[in-house]
Structure 1
Amino acid sequence: MELKDIDLNLLVIFNQLLIEKKVSKVAENLGLGQPAVSNALARLRKLFGDELFLRTSTGMQPTPFADQLAESIGYALSMIHGAINARDSFDPATSQRSFTIGMTDIGEIYFLPILMKQLQKIAPGISISTVRNTAINLKDAMEAGQIDLAIGLLPQLKAGFFQQRLFMQRYVCMFRKGHALSGKKLSLQDFFGADHVAIISAGTGHGQVDEILDAASPRRKIKLHVPHFVAVGHILQSTDLIATVPERMAERMAKPFGLNYVEHPVKLPQIAINLFWHAKYHKDTANQWIRSTMFELYADARARSKS
């Protein structure tokens, strides 16, 4: 097959079908009638000799061959779009752009207050949405442009992605001021003798830390399991429970909730917190701006020296 035999508009429709999974939504996005999109799909099927998309209860799902084509076609269209619009600039001061960032609830506690304060000053028209990295197919959503950036320990984002180190996250032990463990170096005996609140966060860096603690002997005396970090400050504030939390989260929560945090007595690994973006959007000026903003706000000295 030669390039002269392919109508570029058909590939645009192919890419939209990958993203939206619905003929009606693709037609709406491209300003076409549904018959035009269906006709384009028929031409694509004939051209490639494959069904490409199959109707299911969850929409038009790509065939294995369509999945094979997806990344290359998406990347090629992005490069063409970038070349055509190379002169376009992104002005954060006037932009009304909305960015979507994948992060954990720890990330929301740590990153969002500073980010939103900064945007209020330099980019008042820009809005931010967050999604959970573990609640979606992150790789596909970023490739489709539905998520602009992701932050965390995300080993599943390899081929087709760029990443930049922000900092190494260490873990500390946290409890209320006035706790019996206050004012002393925390020993292993103190740690395992106390009552704990444990945060269930599978598939994240914190999940790896929890696995290490759960494999330790003696076992933690866990009195409470919660699925997120949002309530931890309130819980520690009014109980004698202790928690293992990321240090940067502890920095944010200590003063508002009247808490203390100390060096963790268990030898725990530091977790790399990286910024990720898809290669398709590497040269996109808006994406470049939001990731450079995140880097300037949060990267530590070690990360800056390597940038």
Structure 2
Amino acid sequence: MQLANLDLNLLVPLDALLRERSVTRAAAALGLSQPALSASLARLRRHFGDELLTRVGNTYELTPLAVALRRRVGVALTGAERVFASEPGFDPTTSTRDFILLGSDYPMVVLGSSVARIMGERAPGVRLRFQHQMPSIIETAGEALREVDGLVFPHGFLSDMPHLDLYRDTWVCLVATDNPRVGDSLTMDDLATLPWVLTYNSSTAFTPADRQLQILGVQPKVQVVVESFVALPYFIAGTDRIGLVQGHLAGHLTRNGDVRALPCPYDVVPLVEALWWHPMHERDPEHVWMRSVMAEAGARVGAGSAETGPVGR
């Protein structure tokens, strides 16, 4: 298929139609008339030989081909935007580039504020979008990283992708300050008998410290599962539950005094937080600069941990 023979202007209406699943809503989102977008849909249907949108009752549903096209269209549009936003030389002081990073709420709290501060000081026109990633992204990380600038995630889940180690961390146990079943320290028996709040709990989404605990023969008695580290204190405070949280984040979560952090009673495997990106960004000057900002922010996190010292008993 010759690229010159394609009408690339159809990518924008195709993206809107797949997102909105409605000609009316897609036309409104693009600021077009409904007849104009209907004409674009007719051309798209002829090109693909597929209905793309099919009516089911009072709504429209995507055909299997349309579902497959959704991510591909996003990648194509992102690539086109990056091409036409390229500059002959990258000057962070005048750039208006958007950087999109995916991560859990853990690096958002620990790392995100430093990254935003550095960018604000040196690149006031640059915008950082720190988006919360779903656990399923690990299964399609290679494809997902084509659409964003990076994924902030620890080692142990991704491989064969360029990465930059940002800082090291450890895992600690979080318990209620007034938990009558826990004293100044925890034992392995405590971990086996206390009820748990787990962050993520599936074959592809889990904390390495939790998986290590199971390898040691302790099967946590799970009462609650949350897909957020920041939410942990709300499910632990005032109860006898226990949870695992990263050491750098623990200081933020224990500030109001409702929960406290204790060292794990086993030799927990260290956590190495890293920035991962697609190889296509490797030599991009803008991306290289962004990685330098992330490295500096990570170094600040590491320096901060050296000042605060280990978690107390």
Pick the TM interval, shorter chain.
Answer: 0.5 to 0.7
Shift of 1:192: 4.6
Shift of 1:230: 3.0
What is aligned with 2:14?
A: 14
Q: Note if contact 2:15-2:70 (Cα within 8 Å) is conserved in structure 1.
A: no
Equivalent residues in 2 for 1:287-302, closer than 5 Å: 290-298=290-298
What is the identity, as a one-letter code, of the residue corresponding to 1:213? L
What is the identity, as a one-letter code, of the residue corresponding to 2:32? L
What is aligned with 1:32?
A: 32
1:74/1:225 Cα in 2 relative to 1: closer, same or farther (>3 Å)?
Answer: closer
2:152 is the alignment partner of 1:151: yes
What is the identity, as a one-letter code, of the residue corresponding to 2:65? P
What is the identity, as a one-letter code, of the residue corresponding to 2:295? F
State which drifts further: 207-216 or 37-46: 207-216
What is the identity, as a one-letter code, of the residue corresponding to 2:298? Y
Between the aligned partners of 1:289 and 1:220, the Cα distance in structure 2 is: 43
Between the aligned partners of 2:66 and 2:20, the Cα distance in structure 1 is: 18
What is aligned with 2:121?
A: 121
2:238 is the alignment partner of 1:266: no
What is the identity, as a one-letter code, of the residue corresponding to 1:8? L
Shift of 1:297: 0.8
1:73-92: per-residue Cα shift (whole Å, max 9, x none)? Answer: 65555555544443276665
- Three-state SS of the structure 2 residue aligned to 1:265 is coil
Shift of 1:122: 3.7
State which drifts further: 237-246 or 35-44: 237-246
2:200 is the alignment partner of 1:201: yes
Q: Note if contact 1:15-1:70 (Cα within 8 Å) is conserved in structure 2.
A: no
1:212-264: per-residue Cα shift (whole Å, max 9, x none)? Answer: 43565455577x646343354578787776543222223544666484543x3
1:44-82: per-residue Cα shift (whole Å, max 9, x none)? Answer: 2223323344456775625327726963x6555555554
Equivalent residues in 2 for 1:42-81, closer than 5 Å: 42-55=42-55, 61-64=62-65, 67=68, 71=72, 78-81=78-81
What is aligned with 2:307?
A: none
Q: Note if contact 1:169-1:270 (Cα within 8 Å) is conserved in structure 2.
A: yes
Shift of 1:110: 1.8
Between the aligned partners of 2:117 and 2:14, the Cα distance in structure 1 is: 40
1:2-41: per-residue Cα shift (whole Å, max 9, x none)? Answer: 3443222224433444455443454455553332222122
Query: Cα RMSD over matched residues?
Result: 4.9
Between the aligned partners of 1:63 and 1:178, the Cα distance in structure 2 is: 53
1:86/1:116 Cα in 2 relative to 1: closer, same or farther (>3 Å)?
Answer: closer
1:261/1:60 Cα in 2 relative to 1: closer, same or farther (>3 Å)?
Answer: same
State which drifts further: 105-114 or 11-20: 11-20
Under a length normalisation based on structure 1, what TM-score does the superposition of the two structures give?
0.64
Task: Extract unaligned runs of 5+ from structure 1.
Answer: 302-307
Identity of aligned residues (%): 26
- Three-state SS of the structure 2 residue aligned to 1:50 is coil
What is aligned with 1:112?
A: 112
Equivalent residues in 2 for 1:242-257, closer than 5 Å: 243-253=243-253, 257=257
1:173-198: per-residue Cα shift (whole Å, max 9, x none)? Answer: 3558899754x7x65356557x4652
Equivalent residues in 2 for 1:91-102, closer than 5 Å: 93=93, 101-102=101-102
Q: Note if contact 2:109-2:249 (Cα within 8 Å) is conserved in structure 1.
A: yes
2:134 is the alignment partner of 1:134: yes
What is aligned with 2:229?
A: 229
1:128/1:21 Cα in 2 relative to 1: closer, same or farther (>3 Å)?
Answer: farther
Give the number of equivalent residue pairs: 293
